[in-house]
Structure 1
């Protein structure tokens, strides 16, 4: 933990020094906030038989700073999450959260430097995000730092070329995770063919290393995007990548990112399919193929949305790829009962199967919340969530059932 805190503090200090240089020309905004909450959980460790009920008191102060001007912009935030377990299911916990982003430009926007660092809890399994439904189950602490200097070239014919270098350092604490470093060189070209129509192409080479293995990855792609009004767009990007592991495993795959969106007035729809490499605590390289569709509608006093997706996660560090597949359906909505009082509802369900999945592939979540704005700086919120993990969709036999009730007061300056 000390190493994690030192990494976060060092990055914050570097950004602060860079902010200080052009401070006179910058606009600053400082926002302190705090959340005081109490949670009732009747199955804290999500066990099918030995359920542990506890009351968890949480105190979450946070400080945020944003600044812009003089050739730079930056956003910094740092928070604590203190948790006290009334029935001693765990001893008290103190988590740190940090987010830092800085962008600097020199010589009429020719030379740029981007810096970022995030420190937070993430799920141990990338195929199923449990951070928002549990305080303790299947999670690890991740620190992800990045530095990227690059050059922006303005070429004839409304063309631009971006050439640069990225260095990433990803580390894990208080759980399982493979630490990684990445060196990445890239070139990205784009040209506006007409208003709203942009052609692009790129090449990148990355070397990713850990204490267990290393790989070289090359990617090349070409793409086209067309924006023809608010909420209306069409884009496609197609390419190929090659991976070579030090362990002797090699792979080559096509990848793509294709999507479309349309505002029909009554409904707004979006569909897409894409391939990307997802940061995975368990492996050096995980290829994620996803297909998704969303429908949403805005009302005078709220909104409603529906989303559906299919995802496939391929862990590529072995001779025979480990694969997980996930199908998800979700509904969410929010309605303003009156000024300052809002009701929210959400329902979702997913099924996960594949080589690495054990019991209970079905995951069902339903919840309702109510927010009451006491003033412009204070919101009282309450939320109830029921979580179910099942072997069979139509049977609760040997299932994991969780009820959570959260009441919290959110204060901002």
Structure 2
């Protein structure tokens, strides 16, 4: 495992904050939990030619800690996932996961410090997140850490100026991944023009270094947001992004983030379009253009939702610039059969362009599950899912089919 000096840095920075929190925090909460389960999988490695059937026993203990008060808040969690493969398709596996989110505000609400660190399994391809459907395929372990001190300036005329610095460190294990460090200075100005209407503007300068190349990025934007109720708002930000690869090419692009949400009482609808730079294990910079629509409704005994999106992923690599396009449609719902018995249903499908690697263009996922509450601290769950990767939407020939059945007992304090 590659050493991370940021782990020591975060620990050293967090200790005095935890000491402050211990003295001032109004609330502490420890939450232990345990999940014990069994999985049947008829194609563990998602092979189109030689499927492997496996029975996987999983034991997942977790401990979460929260402290809040006195200008300090912290959420920490640590757990591991022990996996026993009964038919020896692979060796027993310990998968660790950890997360830290902490913030400190000095008296007067002027000086702030944010800390975060997550160690988790992520998908190797950002266009398709497979961590929820597979234990072993196309994944890598990622550690992502952030240290961010910043100042909040209260200006005349209901204006606020935030100036700060962010240091990010991203590293990968057990698979391909591009390690990165980022130094980012930024300024964000906002002013409330009238009740619910806010004008904002921002500028940032970032220096991103990796084992492949080094990138300098400038970003500037201006925007408006109007909230007229708890779930109804409209906003729009527009700006420009300048990038320069050391000793190489320049890239200049407009970017935007705009959306609207409306609560109609019987239905909540949200639509938007945005450009963002997504953390990608494969490259130093991936530009994601995303257009989306979500519809959701709450019933007396359940919920239902629909999601549609179109995404474009520009992967800026050393030799070539790869582009992937993705169209996604998804439906989900939950129905309470009884106060202690719930039914979950989910269906999704996406189409990915063939322009990168050997990805199948079509990906289908359908699942159904039940949760039975045994008591105030125990839930018994069972879930079946069908996963299919196809070259043609109407045919499974040459594709990949997976059937998974998971039964688990979830215990919490």
On whether the aligned pair clears a TM of 0.5, the verdict is: yes
**Is contact 1:74–1:100 with CA below 8 Å preserved after alignment?**
yes
Task: Check the 8 A contact 1:83/1:92 in 2, yes or no.
Answer: yes
CA distance in 1, matches of 2:193, 2:187: 20
Shift of 1:155: 0.2
Counterpart of 1:235?
A: 235
Name whichever of 310-319 and 237-246 sits farther off: 310-319
SS in 2 for 1:157: coil
Aligned residue for 2:17, secondary structure, equals helix
Whole-Å separation in 1 of the counterparts to 2:284 and 2:192: 36
The answer on 1:86 being equivalent to 2:86 is yes
8 Å CA contact 1:272, 1:291 repeated in 2: yes
How far did residue 10 of structure 1 move?
Answer: 6.6
Residues 133 and 58 (structure 1 numbering): CA distance in 2 closer, same or farther, change over 3 Å? same
| Deviation per residue, 1:344-403 (Å, 9 max, x gap) | 000000000042142521000000010011111111011000000000001111110000
Whether the 8 Å CA contact 1:80–1:94 is kept in 2: the answer is: yes
Task: Determine the structure 2 residue equivalent to 1:36.
Answer: 36
Shifted more, 16-25 versus 252-261: the winner is 16-25
Q: How does 1:283-362 map to 2 (within 5 A)?
A: 283-318=283-318, 321-362=321-362
- Give the conservation status (yes or no) of the 8 Å contact 2:71–2:107: no
Query: Is the 1:180–1:210 Cα contact (8 Å) retained in structure 2?
Result: yes
- What is the aligned partner in structure 2 of residue 201 from structure 1? 201
Question: Which residue matches 2:47?
Answer: 47
Cα distance between partner residues in 1 of 2:363 and 2:19: 48
Change (3 A) 1:359 1:99: closer
Tell me the residue number matched to 2:103. Answer: 103
Is 2:36–2:59's contact at 8 Å kept on the other side of the alignment? yes
User: Are the equivalent residues in 2 in contact too, given 1:280–1:286 (CA < 8 A)?
Assistant: yes
In the alignment, structure 1 residue 25 sits paired with structure 2 residue 58? no
2:402 & 2:7 partners in 1: Cα distance? 34
Question: Matched residues in 1 for 2:32 and 2:320: separation?
Answer: 50
- Number of the residue aligned with 1:412: 412
2-side partners of 1:73 and 1:279: how far apart?
A: 26
Q: Distance in 2 between matches of 1:119 and 1:11?
A: 13
The 3-state SS of whatever aligns with 2:229 is coil
Q: How many aligned residue pairs are there? A: 412
TM-score, normalized by length of structure 2?
Answer: 0.97
Tell me the alpha carbon deviations over residues 191-215 of structure 1, each in whole angstroms, 9 at most, x when there is no partner: 0001110000000000000122001
Is 1:122 the counterpart of 2:98? The answer is no
| Aligned equivalents of 2:271, 2:218: Cα separation in 1 | 28
2: CA distance, partners of 1:383 / 1:12: 39
Q: Structure 1 segments of 4 or more deviating over 3 A?
A: 1-4, 6-14, 317-320
Q: Does the 8 Å CA contact 2:21/2:68 hold for their aligned counterparts?
A: no
Q: Deviations over 1:214-235 (max 9, x none)?
A: 0100000000000011211100
Normalization by structure 1: what TM-score?
0.97
Question: Matches of residues 117-266 of structure 1 in structure 2 within 5 Å?
Answer: 117-266=117-266
Relative distance call for 1:22 and 1:295 in structure 2 (3 A) is closer
Q: Is the 8 A contact 2:21 2:67 kept in 1?
A: no
Structure 2 residues not aligned, in runs of 5+? none
| Structure 1 residue ranges without an equivalent (≥5) | none
How far apart, CA to CA, are the structure 2 residues paired with 1:371 and 1:357?
Answer: 38
